[in-house]
Amino acid sequence: MPNATTIALIPLLPLAGFLLLGLFGRTAFKNSAGIIGTLLLLASTVLAVYTAYDYFTNSSVDFYRREVPLQLTWLRFSENLSIDMGILLDPISVMMIVVVTFVSLMVHIYSLGYMKGEERYPTYYAFLSLFTFSMLGLVLSSNLFQMYIFWELVGVSSFLLIGFYYNKPSAVSAAKKAFIVTRFADLGFLIGILVLSFYSGTLDFNTLIARLTSPESSELKTAVTSSFLGISGLSWALVLIFIGGAGKSAMFPLHIWLPDAMEGPTPVSALIHAATMVVAGVYLVARLFPIFAISAPAVLEFVGWIGAISAIIAAIIACTQTDIKRVLAYSTMSQIGFMMFALGVSKYGGEEGLGYTASMFHLFTHAMFKALLFLGAGAVIHYVHSNEIKDMGGLRKKLPITHITFLIACLAIAGVPPFAGFFSKEEILLAAYENNTPIYWIALITSGLTAFYMFRLYFGIFWSKPSHLSQMPIHSGERAGGEVHKGEGGFAMMLPLILLAIGAAAAGFIPFGKYVSSDGTPLETKFHLVFSVAPVVLGLTGIFTAMWLYKKQNTRPDKLAASLNGFYKTAYNKFYIDEVYLFITKKILFNLVGKPAAWFDKNVVDGLINFTGNTTQILSGKIKKIQSGKVQQYAIYFLAGVIGLALLFIYVWK
Amino acid sequence: MNGSTIIFYLLAALTLICGILSVSTRQIFRAAIYLLFSLIGIAGIYFWLDYQFIAAVQIVVYVGGIVVLIIFSIFLTQQAGDKLSKQKIGRKIFSALAVFCGFALTMLQVYQHSFYPSSDIHVSPTVANIGNRMLSVKEGGYALPFELVSILLLAALIGCIVIAMRSKPETT
Amino acid sequence: MTEPGLYQILFISAALFFIGVYGFLTRRNLITMLMSVELILNSVNLNFIAFNKYLWPGRMDGLFFAVFIVAIAAAEAAVAIAIIINLYRSHKSIDVKNAEELKY
């Protein structure tokens, strides 16, 4: 296997990039920042792929093994408890480093074209590198606390990148929203970590899982028997950790930040809010999956239901949104919901563990096609200079490569064979079918909706009737000799699209179950041809419905919207969840907690301080008169003092 | 009642009356002169006590040095014949009262205390004895304080010059 | 009239001391205040000599203290007058009322 240095270099190279570009980027590498960042990441990607190749091919005995090539003790609290920094290699972390480096590399290359001429170009690349470093650190973490550290780092870099256009008020508020919502969820995560480590006495993943899954261990017994509000300590810990994951992964009801996060540059959305960071929650649950599955199945079911609810709600909202990035954002949320409930319906070990494999598989394929969708959308936005679907249309001739790759991505996400999404989604549905029928039906409907809204988007952008906005640049472009718009944005932007399209088309053929499974025994993925019929038919129905409604410009969509008036409006307004949050924070929290607290602070706390200060001031004002500067007055005090002391010593203290 | 007693009381009266006048007259030059006589009276008491050396020092240093210095500074800072500004009467009364209390307290203590003279052999304070003791480095010698005082005088000399020197106009 | 002795001299000394204090408290001119200080110093000297004479005739410590006090008084008077002259230069006055800047 590759030695520890090689693996350590994978996250450390982007860190070097961040430091280099962050410190000197603005002066030394004004124009070469992108190239430097990309090259460093390329090296990192090569190392990651090499590591993965080595990991999966080298071992003749056991695919599913946990290797800890590096373990440094960082903060030692007691004999048993210390915070370490280490690297943990197991199938999912190896898969994740490949995904993260690959997508990040694509985004880096893409940004060379997309962000060109941007004023804070080096800063952008510095932030990207920081994010990549944090994400890699997160997936390679060998213990919970290290993961938490990188978890927060990821949150920070996400905040920085969403607010990249900091002179845009909406971007600033979106960045704040993302940070506060995820921060709020992270509080749960932190408490969960503390509770879990309290019961298990360790932070290390391997020890943790070993202690909390074997039925004989005393740690597990105390964790299960102790209870708070009628729920066992272990369940509390896992629920709290899941809240952290749900915050990062934009699960209902903590999803509100994700659509707003689309204010950031589009490649950032592709990297952070589609392919990597948002699946951190899924990854977290997968990491602790044995504990969930063996020791707290009830919590796992809770996870599954949250995932299913998120999936369907997000899909419904996505059907009504007009901002293409928001559609993609809700689609992301929906797909992550898929991954979550796939984990939720899974069991530990063997055939029953299909959901786990399926979830990781879907994570992998989703990263490909969702990044592709975002980058494609980025190319469109780059061309049209608008996010609104009504400003687009008929672009298939103008952006041929984008069109083809976008179509591939849409087919993949819709689950049309033989594209990647088909395989992973099929496995998820199968797992749901076998274990939890209600979730299966929800998932089936959601996958139909997915096909519908993706093709609504596709037809809206590339077909429909050319709208006036997309017409204009073509004419002016011709007149100016094609200089106003350089078509699809050049090689740098097209290369990632093509590579990702290949990934989206072919990733499904990887025999994923052989490498990644819940308990380490290879899982042979079986195809049930009969089973596949329903989802595929539903997907195709969705596609054709979208085609019927949106391929040519007509009034059918409006009529449909009118007929579903109330429901359509509710969905368009995202089920008023934002408003509920606003109501809770503004009306309830501010009035009932904030205002009394402010009153208390202003009158009692400040009052006390002011009282002390004023009293001192008044007293000193009186006392300072003694210090008059008159020599003779001092002499009188002195004489009086001497006489007083003499009297005291002579007559009182004889 | 012999001559010695009469002389002592005369000297005491001279000293005290001149002292009182010195602090109460409103003409500064006269105050200096009264001070001069008061100091001479003290020198007389030293003579009366048979301490010729310290009496001589008193006359030389005080009468010949310090009072002359004071008179010079009066000439430098005061128009001749100017009367001193009056102090507030309240302050005067208060000071007199405080001083009287202090004096009463002190005298009360002095008269209540009985002093016991030591029975040492009387050593007459001749100039030779004083000189030997002052420059002796043995037990009971005063060579070190003597040197210290000489350094102090040097420091005071330099300090006076520095303080009284006209500061340069700040043109540089 | 009694034979003069230690008590009489101590009386003179204490009286002279408090005369000096009175002068220091009531005078406003710095030079006259300096004179009062000289009176105080002299009263102390007188005390030393008297104690030396009547209580420890075998020693000369009181005498030496007196001598050194005279020397220090000379130095003090010189420095004080230098300060007074400097003050006169800057304030055009040696009234203590006009030199009250050094306060709170």
The answer to whether the beta carbons of residues B22 and B3 sit under 8 Å apart is no
Is B170 among the domain residues? no
Question: From CA A217, how far away is CA A210, in angstroms rounded?
Answer: 9
What is the pLDDT, as a whole number, of residue B81?
A: 64
- Number of structural domains chain B divides into: 1
Distances (CA, A) of A287 to A149, A190, A321: 16, 16, 34
Is B39 among the domain residues? yes
What is the pLDDT, as a whole number, of residue B40?
A: 93
Question: From CA A375, how far away is CA A496, in angstroms rounded?
Answer: 8
The answer to whether the beta carbons of residues A321 and A332 sit under 8 Å apart is no
Is C13 among the domain residues? yes
Q: What is the DSSP letter of A652?
A: I
What is the pLDDT, as a whole number, of residue A619?
A: 92
What is the pLDDT, as a whole number, of residue A653?
A: 82
Distances (CA, A) of A355 to A436, A539, B47: 11, 21, 122
Supply B78's token pair.
Answer: 């005061």
Tell me how many degrees the CA angle C86-C89-C94 measures, rounded to the nearest 5.
80
Q: Quick one: closest CA in C to A621, which residue?
A: C104
Q: Quick one: closest CA in B to A642, which residue?
A: B102
Looking at chain C, how many residues does it have? 104
Neighbours of A230 (CB within 10 A): 6
CA atoms within 13 A on the CB side of A447: 33
Assign A518 a pLDDT band (cuts: 50, 70, 90).
low
**Which candidate, A87, A118, A107, places its Cα nearest to that of A5?**
A87
Supply B52's token pair.
Answer: 């010729």
Which residue in the set A624, A625, A632 is minimally distant from C96, CB to CB? A632
> Among C28, C34, C67, which would you mutate to test the B interface (most chain B Cβ atoms within 10 Å of its Cβ)?
C67
**Is B47 in the C-facing interface, judged by CB distances under 8 Å?**
no
Is C76 among the domain residues? yes
The answer to whether the beta carbons of residues B61 and C72 sit under 8 Å apart is no
- The answer to whether the Cβ–Cβ distance between C25 and A628 falls below 8 Å is no
- The answer to whether the Cβ–Cβ distance between C100 and A627 falls below 8 Å is no
- The answer to whether the Cβ–Cβ distance between C21 and A639 falls below 8 Å is yes
Neighbours of A227 (CB within 10 A): 12
- Computed from CA positions of residues A278, A281, A284, A289, in that sequence, does the dihedral angle turn out positive or negative? negative
Size of interface A-C (CB pairs under 8 A): 30
What is the pLDDT, as a whole number, of residue B44?
A: 93
Q: How far is B98 from chain A (nearest CA, A)?
A: 8
> Among C34, C91, C103, which would you mutate to test the A interface (most chain A Cβ atoms within 10 Å of its Cβ)?
C103
What CATH number is given to the structural domain containing C67?
1.10.287.3510
Backbone Cα Rg of chain C? 17
pLDDT over 50 (residue A478): no
> Among B23, B87, B88, B95, which would you mutate to test the A interface (most chain A Cβ atoms within 10 Å of its Cβ)?
B95
pLDDT over 60 (residue A192): yes
Lowest mean pLDDT among A244-253, A503-512, C21-30, C59-68: A503-512
Domain of residue C38, residue span: 6-98
Is C1 among the domain residues? no
- Give ipTM to 2 decimals: 0.89
Which residue in the set B91, B98, B109 is minimally distant from A640, CB to CB? B98
DSSP E strand boundaries for chain B:
none
- Number of structural domains chain C divides into: 1
Give mean pLDDT, residues A527-546: 77
The answer to whether the beta carbons of residues A8 and A137 sit under 8 Å apart is no
Please give the helix or strand (H or E) that residue A272 lies within, else none.
none
Percent of chain A with pLDDT over 90: 1
Supply B58's token pair.
Answer: 């008193």
Is B118 among the domain residues? no
Question: From CA A126, how far away is CA A41, in angstroms rounded?
Answer: 12
What is the pLDDT, as a whole number, of residue B128?
A: 86
Question: From CA A50, how far away is CA A46, in angstroms rounded?
Answer: 6
Size of interface B-C (CB pairs under 8 A): 223
Peptide bond into A418 cis (omega under 30): yes
Residues 6+ apart with CB under 8 A from C95: B85, C28, C29, C30
Which residue in the set B45, B95, B153 is minimally distant from C25, CB to CB? B95
In this predicted model, what pLDDT tens digit does every residue of A88-140 receive, in sequence order?
888 888 888 888 888 888 888 888 888 877 778 888 888 888 989 999 888 88
Is C104 among the domain residues? no
- The answer to whether the Cβ–Cβ distance between B94 and A639 falls below 8 Å is no
Neighbours of A24 (CB within 10 A): 13
Question: Tens digit of pLDDT per residue, chain B (172 long)?
Answer: 788 899 999 999 999 999 999 998 888 888 999 999 999 999 999 999 888 889 999 999 888 889 998 888 888 887 766 677 777 888 888 888 888 988 998 898 888 888 888 777 777 788 888 888 888 888 878 889 899 999 999 999 998 888 877 766 665 5
> Among A632, A642, A643, which would you mutate to test the C interface (most chain C Cβ atoms within 10 Å of its Cβ)?
A632
More confident position, A421 or A612? A612
Q: Give A93: exposed, middle or buried? Use CB within 10 Å, 0-12, 13-18, 19+.
A: buried
pLDDT over 80 (residue C68): yes
Q: How far is B32 from chain A (nearest CA, A)?
A: 20
Put simply, the chain B residues between 79 and 98 with a CB less than 8 A from any chain C CB are 84-85, 87, 91-92, 95-96, 98
Q: What is the DSSP letter of A264?
A: S
The answer to whether the beta carbons of residues A211 and A165 sit under 8 Å apart is no
Buried-state track B131-143, b at ≥16 Cβ within 10 A, e below 16: eebbeeeeeeebe
Q: Quick one: closest CA in B to C81, which residue?
A: B73
DSSP E strand boundaries for A428-500:
none
Which residue in the set C21, C26, C101 is minimally distant from A629, CB to CB? C101
Is B61 among the domain residues? yes
What CATH number is given to the structural domain containing B136?
1.20.120.1200
Q: Across-strand partners of A86?
A: A71
Is B119 among the domain residues? no
The answer to whether the beta carbons of residues A87 and A69 sit under 8 Å apart is yes
Question: From CA A577, how far away is CA A164, in angstroms rounded?
Answer: 26
Is B115 among the domain residues? no
Q: Quick one: closest CA in A to C18, which residue?
A: A639
**Is A229 in the C-facing interface, judged by CB distances under 8 Å?**
no
In this predicted model, what pLDDT tens digit does every residue of A589-598 receive, in sequence order?
777 778 888 8
In this predicted model, what pLDDT tens digit does every residue of A43-73 receive, in sequence order?
888 888 888 887 777 654 454 556 666 677 7
Is C32 among the domain residues? yes
Q: Residue by residue, what is the 3-state secondary structure of A202-257?
A: CCEHHHHHHHHHCCCCHHHHHHHHCEECCEEHHHHHHHHHHHHHHHHCCCCCCCCH
Question: From CA C26, how far away is CA C32, in angstroms rounded?
Answer: 10
**Is A621 in the C-facing interface, judged by CB distances under 8 Å?**
no
> Among A636, A649, A652, which would you mutate to test the B interface (most chain B Cβ atoms within 10 Å of its Cβ)?
A636
Tell me how many degrees the CA angle B151-B153-B157 measures, rounded to the nearest 5.
115
What is the pLDDT, as a whole number, of residue A80?
A: 67
- The answer to whether the Cβ–Cβ distance between A629 and C25 falls below 8 Å is no
The answer to whether the beta carbons of residues A429 and A440 sit under 8 Å apart is yes
Chain position carrying tokens 């929290």: A589
Using CB atoms, which chains have 3+ pairs under 8 A with A?
Answer: B, C
Is C44 among the domain residues? yes
pLDDT over 80 (residue A371): yes
Q: How far is A640 from chain B (nearest CA, A)?
A: 8
Domain of residue B46, residue span: 3-110+125-165
Buried-state track A394-416, b at ≥16 Cβ within 10 A, e below 16: bbbebbebbbbbbbbbbbbbbbb
Using CB atoms, which chains have 3+ pairs under 8 A with C?
Answer: A, B
**Which candidate, A266, A257, A269, A246, places its Cα nearest to that of A179?**
A257
Size of interface A-B (CB pairs under 8 A): 15
Assign A259 a pLDDT band (cuts: 50, 70, 90).
confident
Q: What are the φ and ψ backbone dihedral angles of A29, each rounded to 5 degrees? A: -120, 45
Backbone Cα Rg of chain A? 30
What is the pLDDT, as a whole number, of residue B80?
A: 60
What is the pLDDT, as a whole number, of residue A473?
A: 45
Which residue in the set A624, A636, A639 is minimally distant from C104, CB to CB? A624
Question: From CA A112, how far away is CA A92, in angstroms rounded?
Answer: 30
Chain position carrying tokens 């009694």: C2
Collapsing DSSP to helix, strand or coil, A283 comes out as helix
- The answer to whether the Cβ–Cβ distance between B102 and A636 falls below 8 Å is no
